Each structure stands twice: as C-alpha cells, then as structure tokens.
Structure 1
Amino acid sequence: MPHIPRSAAVSAVVATALAAGLLATTATASGVSGASAEGARVHDIQGTTRLSPLMGQQVSDVPGIVTGVRGYGSKGFWIQDTRADGDRATSEGIFVYTSSAPTVKTGDAVKVSGTVTEYVPGGASSGNQSLTQITKPTVTVESSGNALPAPVTVDAKSVPSAYAPKGDPAAGNSVNALPLKPRSYALDHYESLEGMNVRVGSSRVVGATDPYSELWVTVKPHESATGRGGARYGSYGSQNTGRLQIQQLAPVSEQPFPKADVGDVLTGGAEGPLDFNQFGGYTLTARTLGKIADKGLEREKTRPQRKGELAVATYNVENLDPGDPQAKFDALASAVVTNLAAPDIVALEEIQDNNGAKNDGTVAADQTLKKFTDAIVAAGGPRYDWRTVDPQNNKDGGEPGGNIRQVFLFNPERVSFTDRGAGDATTATGVVRAGKDAALTHSPGRIAPADAAWTNSRKPLAGEFSFRGRTVFVIANHFASKGGDESLTSHHQPPVRSSETQRVRQGEAVNSFVREIRAVRKDADVLVVGDINDFEFSATTKALEAGGALRAGIKTLPRSERYSYVFQGNSQVLDQILVSPGVGPFRYDSVHVNAEFAEQNSDHDPQVVRFKP
C-alpha cells in the first residue's frame, strides 16, 4: 500500500480501492472543505491538488466539448469546459471512462453524469500518480460539429525547470495533497493540464518509436542535449522536464504511427488531450500528428584495437535463443564484427538456454552460442570460442524458462582462456596465489553464488585470460533489474528506488572479490563488465568503486556521451566497464548502435575498452 496523505483524510474504503488502482468508488475525500458535487464543472472536479475534492461523489450534467475519443485500450473520451475559472491550478479537461467503445464524436457538446474516481495506472504498488476521471457515465449529446477549445501550448517557456516539489513527509513523501504550483514545477504544470487539449510545436525526438507506437520528444531543445540528439539523464536531479510522450488517438490499423530515431524532428508537432498512463506518465494523445524529418542518425563504429592492445567489450543481446529469427543473430553478429571491430573478449548478457522461454528444465545454451558464433564467422569475424557456467533452472531471474546467463566469447588467435576446474552453478570461485600472480580456483566460475545478494538474479561470471603473457581477470555481470522502482512521475517525490538495495549489495560483493585479487597482486588487471542496471552516479556504482578498487570507465567520456540506454526519453547509463588501478591508460567507448533507433536488435548499446596489459 502507498502512503495516503493525512490531509486528504481518505477513508479505509478509499485506501482499499486504491490498492486495486481505483482510488475512491464508494467513499469521498474530505480534504477540501465544502466540496459539493451539485452543479460541478470540470475545474471543480479536478480541483487544485492531484486528487479530486469530489472523489467518490456523483456529478450530474457536467458540460464540455469532446476533444478526443479513444476506442481501444482504456476506452473513453475527453471533454473540456469552454468556460474556464481562471485558476492556473485547475484543469478544464477530464477523461470519461466508458469501458466500451464510445459513441460520441470529437466536437460534440455533451453533458456527462457519473462517478468521480481517481484511477492509478499500474495499481497503487506502482507509485504512479492517479488520473482523475468520470466513470459509469450517462452522456447526453446536445450538439455536434462544435469548434474545439484552443489548445494550450506546451513549450520551453511554459514548462518550469524544476521537476517536482518534495513530497510531504507527514504523508509518506507523497505530493498528492499538495497545492499545485504550475509555474514552479514541471509535474505540477502537466497535472494542471491533465485532460486538456494541448499542443507541442516542432520538437526533437529524444526517444525512438517503440513497438507500442509511441515516441518521446522534448520541448526544450537545449536541455541536457547529447551529441546525437538525445536528452542525457545525468543525475537524480536532472530529470529533463521538457520530455513528453507522444501517442496517437487513431489506431495504427487506420493510421500508421511515424517511425523516428533519436535526433529526428517531429515537424508540425502534435495536438490532442493530455493523458496520464502507466508506461510514460503525462502523454499527449495526438488527435493530429506531424511528420518526421529524418536527420540521418547513423550507428556508430568503434576503431579496431592497435598492436599490443587488448579490446574487451560487453553486450546485452536481449534474450537471445535459437528460436529467434536468423536475422537477429545476423544483425547482432554484424554489430560485433563491424561496429565493435571484433573485440578480443566479449562478455554477453541475456544468452538464453537452448529452447528459450520454454519452461522444461533445459539450462544448456550451447546451441544458442553455436548459432551466434557461426553468425559472427559468416559476418567476416573470427571463430570465437566461449566459456560460461549454466545456471540452475529458474534461479537467476529473467524470462521464466529462459535461464539467461553471462558468457565469455574470446578470439583464441589473440587471447587464451585459462581453464581452472570449471565451476558449476552453486560452486564459488576463489582467489589463490600462483607464484607472483593471483589465480582463480575456478575459471570460469561464479562469485559467491550462495550470497543472498544474488537471489533470483544473475551470478557474476569470473574468468582468467592471458594476453601476451599477462594475466587479465574479467568479471561479467548482469545485476538485478530496476523492476519495481517507481517512475520519475511517481506521487512520491523523490520516487522510491526499491530495487537499488539489492544492486548495492551486489556491487559490494563484486568489489570485495576484486579486492581479494588485488590483495594477492596489487597491480592485477581486473575488468568488471556488464549490464549493471544502474547509473554512473548511483549508489551501486559507488559500491563497485569503493576503496579505489575500481574506476567506472564511462566517466572518462565527455558527459554528453555517457549513456548506453534510452528510457522514456532519457539517455542514461546501464551498461558499464569498470577497471582496476592496474589497468594502464585505456580508451573507453560507448558504441551507440541500438538504444537510439526504432529498429533495434537489442535495447542496449555495447561498451568496449582498449588497453595494453
């Protein structure tokens, strides 16, 4: 259950409904003194906070013009009152939830009677803000073909630079009951326009078109701009207030949604009701949508390693299994050969077992790896060898039955793997002294697989390599996902990052293992690579770097280039390579081949580091 604002005095009945995603169906909120449903207009229903003062009450003959109709998904329509109250905090628009395909049309003048509710997309456990709506409606159409209310323009001038107020500590850090300040905070500004007809002008795309027919734009052209047209997420305080998700009201079967990459421009902008949904927060549901101006974003290519340089890469290949189309294998292989310049060592994440998500106890992945390495050869690359440790069935998280794991690919013409009593899923590798060098007791082996830090998560894979007579240790990781964390638009401010606790413990475990290696040989070359699932400024990265054991390589890049993933229009770091102090001068590259593009072979960009051991 979320923390319910005390000042809203929400009843236990309301709280129970909230847990199911519907805040108030039979009870009322008494946070606004004298709130009355009689003769209520839209702005009376919306009120001056995020929760309606008429929550749970019946309203009758609420007037408005239909500004948009949605006949799929959450079916219903939006109305907007043409007689505004002049209060910036109160929206003049609202969603009417019909549950079945609406019969009204855009431009109809209607009167709506029904129950005022607050719906939480994703349910209360998501932490999402709620959407004020009228449910179980009775609708009277009074006239048709009316002019729509003029749209409110959302642009760089109108959206504040501060993202959200701090939540009320007495209400569990919730902002729900705080008075809206649309001139001070971006989230308050968007909330004050919830349900209203809004527009954005020509805007740069900062989140490519996804499989669900949505993209992200920014109305602030200079806000945290990357060199390739994105909006970089550089700290917990730089949420990039100009981001806005764009969908369309017309189903894609009737009107194809435009395909856009990061850096393209939505020319002509978009206009339609401002919605709030589970997977993007405030969303412009476009009634009219402009065209995409292709700016020609190209997939990057890193340089080949030079004589004496060792190239080590990490690549999350997104649930790769033999059942995937050959085209996916070929595209990923081409990226390894062409875009990554055939690194000497490639740590892969999300290699699934031989039958993918079929949940029958299969854990081996040799067929997956043979198909992939064959594709690399066909693309003109080397014949990579591989090492891995098969997980226990369904013990490492990910897609049930898929048994994802980390794998080392290595080019035996350039580097050799030191096999030392290969470990299994439950056996921990350790560190011993071998002459003047450190050595692993199991190579490949898993780091502390019984540690609670790795419960239902991928265990780190450690391997010992030799390059030109020098030992190099590589630890491949795939830390716990961010699933369960609240979005930036959460009603808790700051949002709750519940998954971070496990990743910090994982970071501490890997840091401890690196220290064990360095305790034997201080100048050992150790690389910690993989999908860390956390930012370069996060507590997880700090746990990995603690005591100077490691350094996050991505921090050596210019700030505008520090990203490997794009989520909700924010270009951010999830994939990392960290190096020990023994690793001499190195060159780091985040190779942007996937995350910024509508057509992806993975949703992650690979990382590569080159150095002379």
Structure 2
Amino acid sequence: MVDSVAVNDGGAGDVTYGPVTLGVAYDGQPFAPGGASRIPDGTDTDATGDWVRNDFDLAGIPGNTGTLIDGEAVNTPGAVNSTELDEGPGPIEADCDAPTVTIGSVQGAGAATPLATGTQVEVEGVVVGDFQTGGFDGYYLQDAGDGDAATSDGIFVFAPGGADVVLGDTVHVVGTVSEFFGMTEVTAVAASVCATGGTSALPARTELTLPLAPADRERFEGMRVTLPQTLSILETFEYGQFGLITLGTDRQYQPTAIFEPGSAEAVALAAANVADSIGLDDGRGIQNPDPALHPNGEAFTLDNAFRAGDHVTAATGVLDYRFDQWSVQPTQPAEFASVLPRESLPDVGGDLRVASFNVLNYFTDLDLDVPGTDFRGANTAEEFERQEAKIVAAITEIDADVVGLIEIQNNNDGAALDTLVAALNEQAGAGTYAAIRTGTLGTDAITTALVYQSANVTPTGAYAVLDSSVDPRFDTSRNRPALAQTFTSYSTGEAVTVVLNHLKSKGSACSGDPDRGDGQGNCNLTRVAAAEAIVDWLAGDPTGQGTVGRELIIGDLNSYDHEDPIEVLTGAGYTDLEKQFTGEEAYSYVFDGQLGYLDYALAGTGLVGDVTGASAWHINSDEPSIIDYDMTFKQPAQDALFAPDPYRSSDHDPIVVGIRLTPPDTTAPTLTVTANPAKILLPTLTWRTVNLKPVASDDSGQATVSFVKVTTTGKHAQVRKISDTKFEIRAMPGTSYTFEYRATDAAGNTTTATARTDVGTVRDLIETILDWLFG
C-alpha cells in the first residue's frame, strides 16, 4: 500500500488505519466528509491540512450542478484536483447527425483504452443493457463494429441522472473516456435518443463458451453475449451481499486438494480453473439488494433457491469487468435446474459416532465495542438466537457421541460452552450432552472444545493439551492448542482418544513464514511444525490411557490433503478417513469457487480397522450465505429467509465418523506346517526337493505367513532355497532339516511353527530291508 486516508464519523470505538484520519469538524464543518481531495494536487505531508472536503452534491460530476461553496473541492475523478468549478464553454449537445468514432476505437485491442483519460469522444450504438437503476447508473451501447475482431464493439456509458433509455434504443453519446478499475467506460456529458426501442434491432448475441482465458474476454467487454453451455454454480459467497454467483463447466477443486503443491499439474489446474469460470451478476451495484434475484429471474426464496452444483444454462446479458471479475450482467432470465438437492445425514455405521463441527464464531459476548478486545459472531441477541438455533439443529441431528467444536468463544469462565450445552440439552433432553471443561485454551479469541453424550460414553482420565510449553514446535501464538481426551464406550468398554485441532489459517501472514507461491498459502511451515509436534505428542500417550494408535485426529487443519502438514500425519501412519471412504473428490469447504477439505478425521493404526465410515455432511459449503443467521445489512425480506434448520449453520461442513469399537485382538493366529517328504529313507548323497505347506488361521479372518529360517543338524548337511515353500536338501546320512514359519494377524499378534525333514542312516536302511524281508 502506497498511501491511505481514513474517515471517522465519531462512532464510539471506531478504529481507523493509516497516517491521516479526517474526522467530524476536521476542517471546521460539524460533520464528517463524504469525500476529500488533496489540495494542492498531490500534496502529501501526512496531515489533515492536505485534504479539502469535496462538494457533497457532486459538483464536477457530469450531469450534476452541485452546490460548491468556498472551502470545498470539486469532484474530479481522473482529473487534476481543484477548488474551482470549470464552467466550460457552455452546454454540450449530442447531435444524432454528428460524426462518431467506432466503439472499437475507444476500447482498443489491449486491456485498456488507447485514449488518454478524459479524452472526449462521440459514440453511437444500440442499448444492449439498461442498468440506470440499482447502482450502476448507466447503460451499455453496442455499435455495428469496426471489422476488427480484437476490439470490442460494446462499452459502458456512465450517466447518473442522464437521459432515460431502454433496451433497443439507439443513443448518441458525447462523453469522456476513462478506465474504471479495469473497465473501459464513457462518462456521458450529453446524450440523445436517436431511435426508440423496437425500431433498432438488438445486435446478435455473441456466444461465449468456457474455458476462455481472461485475456481473450477483453474483446467482448460491454457486448451482448450468451453462455450456451450448461454450467455449474461454483461459488455463492458474494451472492447475498452483491448478487453475484460464479459459473463453470463443472465443479472445480483446489489444486492442492488434487495434486502436490507447486507441481506442474497443480499450476495447470489453477490456470484451468480461472479460464473455466465466469460470474453471473444481477445488474446492480448496491449491497444486499432487495429482492435477491435467482438466476431464473425470480426473487430468491426458500422455495425458489439454489445450491452450489446446480445448473444454469443460456445466461444472457452484457459481459463486463467489475470488482476484479468478468461477469455477465443479465438482461433476461437464465434456464435453471436443481441437480444437487440437500442430502440427508450420511450413514457412517458403527456403534460410536464422532463428529467435528465449526460453529463459526459462536460468541456469547455480543458486539462488545471494547478497545483491545476481539469479539466476533452475532452482533445482537436476535442474531445470536438465530445462530444458536441453526447450530443446535445441526448437532442434534448428527447425534454424535462425541463432538469437537471449532471457533467457539474462548471464555475464561466457559460461558460460551456452557450456553451451547444448555441449548443442546433443551433440544435433545436434559442431561444428554456434557462438556469437557478446560477453561481458557491459548490466547486466541476462539478455541476448541469437546462435548459428549454422557449416557453413551464417559471421559477416561484427564484431558491433555498440546501447546508451546509442551513442544515449542507447536506455536500457540498462531495455532489453537490441541485438545485430547480419551472416551470409553459404555456399550463395549473400549476406548478411543479424540484429538481436536484448529491450526493456523492460510489467509493471514506469519512473520518469517510467508506464502511461498506453491498453493499452500501463508504459514505453511507453522502448520508443518505443529503436525510434527502432534505426531510425537500422541506417540507418548498424553492422556495416559494406553491408547497409542487408537487416536482419532479431528478438526480444522487449514491444509488441503496433498499439502505438507497432512503428509506429515499420514506419513506417520494416520489414515485420512475422508479420502479412504469418499475418495479424492471429498470436500467440506468452498473457497474461491473451488472444492477441498480443511476439516479432517485421521485414524491411528490401531483404530483404522474399527472405522466403519466417514463423510462430510454438505449442509453448509453448498448453501448460499444469504440464508444464514447474520442480519448485517440485509433487508427485511432477506432476514426472513432464515429457518432454524441445519443449513448454512456455518461455512464448513461437519465431518462425521462411525466406529465399531471391538476389544483389542490379543489372540495369536494358529499355524501348522507340514514337510513333504518328512523322511528320506535312503541317504543317496544327492539333492532332494522338499515342499513345505504352512497353513494359518485367525479369528479375524486375516493372517499372513512368512518364512523365518531353516536350521540343520548332522555332518555335511546342505540346503538351497528355491522359494519360501520349496527347498533342496543334500540327502546326507543322519542329517535333519527344520523349517520355521511365522503367522501374523491384522492386530500384529504372531505365532511360529516348524516342520522337519530327516535323512536316514545306512543302519536305518538295513533295518528297513530286514523288516521287509522277514516281517
């Protein structure tokens, strides 16, 4: 950031950033400025005296006379700052018979107009998009073209308070050229309607098909377009506030959720994702518009809703570039198909269920405007009730025996945890849920916590905490402390240790641990060190219950599954259960329109065989945030979209794991070995073949057999190994060969067994012959 200036309207506790703050009466006037200009132009002494308040009534903006008084500055975007209003030579008129330039010559073949900012031009075209209301304050014109496929034939005309036009009008505009955050536009000084709608045919729609590289879209900026493909809804994050969704040919995945970070495949996928996505806006620039518009053109309601993954076909409108996004501003409804309906709770089986749930800043302290404090979540009691209702609905429907909570307020008195447990018990029945009381964990405003159904499981022993004091590699100034608790099932008497985590996020920077550009984001080394510390900590049985290997690591590890921290854990023997049961395309979170999972369930070596299923429950990541509890900025109609159900109770999906807790297998397998031949009567001194047949069985049904060794007795004994079950031995008189095998079951129990082949002596041979002759 090169420079900054802030405005403070005097609100209690308001915080501003930067060297200069323009407050109420900073220049003697009794209210805060709505805009200001540096006077003299460019002066920068980091003092309020550099800044002169702009005329509030838009003096200087074309089409506005304003009420400029002494001591105020003119609004002059793109031009030199001034306190004098240039009246000019007189009013400019738009003459439909006057010569014009092509829109293509204004647009140019590059990313920006070839004309200098402020250049006055006259253009004429058909209105292909009318967005004079809703915040854009303008319309799009498209002319017959200049014959150059590299230049766009359409352009946005910024005309606040200007002549009213409608779709299909032919309009002649006199205006100045500028770039508005990357979009070429003409600010109208004068405009005339040369032909009314209906008499001018709309230009043919240009078909845009994905993938289409961003650089190849510039030549269609401002033109009438259609998206003929059936496209999937990728992203809904900005829908509630700005009416924008993102579309692509198919759902997209985070590159590091599919490929190794920094690999050629990951880099290629990142580029492909960009080329294969485009926005579908709502033609309005205001925040939280009412009504929120569904892609089908109707108002968004709970009965006329959509989810990420649903299909949109034939979106038609004008292509423009706003807010760093290529989008279609619609001029007619699109076709819509719901193909991803809400799913029921996944059946994960087992007799014990464990879940992790991100409760998205569940704070019982509401919007406390206290300097130095970090309060998040609900701002009002009504918002809190809505938030709590959704969280309780989700957790009680999951009905897990143990639930790990993420992003709950780190109250020293445990007020947030106690409040949530009380709400759960009000819904599920008195005494159903209890909590592991830890007090404050770490220094962050949010923490992790464990709740459990006390009729099904009991905490065994004390909880354990991993923080910087236990292992300096686990930096708890960045990560939330890890929390481990062993639980014993009443029905089976068996135990499992649940280990709950919330590692440092990718978004905010870590000093000395920046984003290295390989797709893993900020603070990757911090998360790697934490994962290494977790592995070593668990190997030492931190809860002291003898459950090493029978741990279930859950929580938000803020890493996609091909990233370094996860490979540390899987490399130490922990099994990624979502990948095992759902596959490479598992997801629990959508960021920037791309799927992946940051929320994990990883089973230790002694537990993985007991896991019957694991899955995310997609109640949050696919739902638009407009239906969440938050009432900030929303209009009453959007507030009314709330329902006290599990959907959009958070931005992360809960992870649910089923476990069948069986007693540890301590019984060794059985093993028998037979040798053929077991006896070689005649010591011929030659090589003879011996075949071994080891047979193992185990109550688990799984046992593997391996050859251990062969030992010999007798002078001149010799043996050659052909395979694990085939040997050649020298038939020397009075020699013996003993073959040893080992059987191992799935639990690691072992047993050994042997078989022997004996070679007779000359005396044995004589006695055998005599027995045969005289017997």
TM-score when scaled to structure 1? 0.68
Corresponding residue number in structure 1 for 2:321: 276
Q: CA deviation at 1:301?
A: 0.8
8 Å CA contact 1:376–1:383 kept in 2: the answer is yes
Distance 1:151 1:460, change over 3 A: farther
Select the residue among 388, 391, 406 that pairs with 1:329.
388
Listed as ranges, the matches of 1:164-563 within 5 Å are: 185-201=212-228, 203-207=230-234, 210-212=239-241, 214=243, 216=245, 218=247, 220=249, 223-224=250-251, 234=258, 236=266, 237-238=268-269, 239-240=272-273, 241-249=275-283, 252-253=290-291, 257-258=299-300, 259-266=305-312, 269-278=314-323, 281-290=325-334, 292-295=336-339, 297-303=341-347, 305-307=349-351, 310-322=352-364, 323=381, 324-338=383-397, 340=398, 342-352=399-409, 363-364=411-412, 366-380=414-428, 382-390=432-440, 396=444, 403-417=445-459, 420=462, 428=468, 430=470, 451=475, 455=477, 457-467=478-488, 468=493, 470=495, 472-482=497-507, 500-518=521-539, 523-542=548-567, 545=570, 547-548=571-572, 550-559=574-583, 561-563=585-587
1:85 aligns with 2:146: yes
TM-score (ref. length: structure 2): 0.55
| Secondary structure of 1:508 counterpart | helix
* Pick aligned residue for 1:150 from 183, 204, 217: 204
Matched with 2:599 is 575
Q: Is the 8 A contact 1:405 1:458 kept in 2?
A: no
Q: 2:185 aligns with which of 106, 111, 133?
A: 133
Contact 2:175–2:189 at 8 Å: present in 1 too? yes
2:414/2:437 contact within 8 Å kept: no
Shift of 1:60: 0.9
Contact residue 429 and residue 448 of structure 1 kept, 8 A: no
Residue 124 of structure 2 corresponds to 63
Name the stretch that deviates more: 319-328 or 99-108.
99-108
C-alpha displacement at 1:418, in angstroms?
5.1
What secondary structure does 2:533 align onto? helix
Structure 2 vs 1, CA of residues 316 and 153 (structure 1 numbering), >3 Å: closer, same or farther?
same
> What CA distance in whole angstroms lies between the structure 1 residues aligned with 2:584 and 2:484?
32
Equivalence for 1:589: 615
Residue 536 of structure 1 and its aligned partner are, at CA, apart by 2.1
Give the SS at the match of 1:514. Answer: helix
CA distance in 2 between counterparts of 1:483 and 1:91 reads 39
Number of residue pairs matched? Answer: 490
Instruction: Give the CA deviation at 1:318.
Output: 1.7
| TM-superposition CA deviations, 1:157-185 (whole Å, max 9, x none) | x323xxxxxxxxxxxxxxxxxxxxxxxx5
Would you say the 8 A contact 1:265–1:295 is kept in 2?
yes
Q: Distance in 2 between matches of 1:273 and 1:216?
A: 15
What is the aligned-residue RMSD (CA, Å)?
4.2
Contact 2:163 2:191 in 1 (8 A): no
Structure of greater Rg: 2
Q: Is the 8 A contact 2:102 2:145 kept in 1?
A: no
Q: Which amino acid counterpart does residue 286 of structure 1 have in structure 2?
A: P
Same amino acid, percent of matched pairs: 22
Per-residue deviation at 1:39? 6.8
Contact 2:132 2:139 in 1 (8 A): no
- Are 1:51 and 1:118, in contact at CA under 8 Å, matched by a contact in 2? yes
- What is the match of residue 263 of structure 2? none
Q: Deviations over 1:552-595 (max 9, x none)?
A: 33222444751112345433323222344443233321111222
Contact 2:403 2:451 in 1 (8 A): yes
* Other structure's SS at 1:501 match: coil
Q: Could you tell me whether the CA contact under 8 Å between 1:315 and 1:346 is conserved in 2?
A: yes
Structure 2 segments unaligned to the other structure (5+ residues) = 3-40, 45-76, 81-98, 260-265, 365-380, 628-647, 662-775
Structure 1 residues 311 and 271: alpha-carbon distance in aligned structure 2, compared to 1, 3 A threshold: same
Distance 1:523 1:407, change over 3 A: closer
> What is the distance in 2 between the residues matched to 1:333 and 1:463?
23
> Given the superposition, is the C-alpha separation of residues 301 and 581 from structure 1 closer, same or farther in structure 2, using an over 3 Å criterion?
same
Q: What is the deviation of 1:607?
A: 0.9
Counterpart CA distance in 1 for 2:437 and 2:354 is: 15
Alignment-mate amino acid for residue 80 of structure 1: L
Distance 1:140 1:558, change over 3 A: same
Check the 8 A contact 2:463/2:486 in 1, yes or no.
Answer: no
Q: Whose relative contact order is higher, 1 or 2, with alpha carbons under 8 Å and at least 6 apart?
A: 1
Question: Are residues 207 and 191 of structure 1, via their aligned partners in 2, closer, same or farther at CA, if it must alter by over 3 Å?
Answer: same
Aligned equivalents of 2:255, 2:537: Cα separation in 1? 39
| Residue 475 of structure 1, CA deviation | 2.9
Q: How many angstroms apart in 1 are the aligned matches of 2:234 and 2:177? A: 34
- Given residue 48 of structure 1, which amino acid in structure 2 is its aligned partner? A
| d(CA) in 2 for partners of 1:192, 1:537 | 38
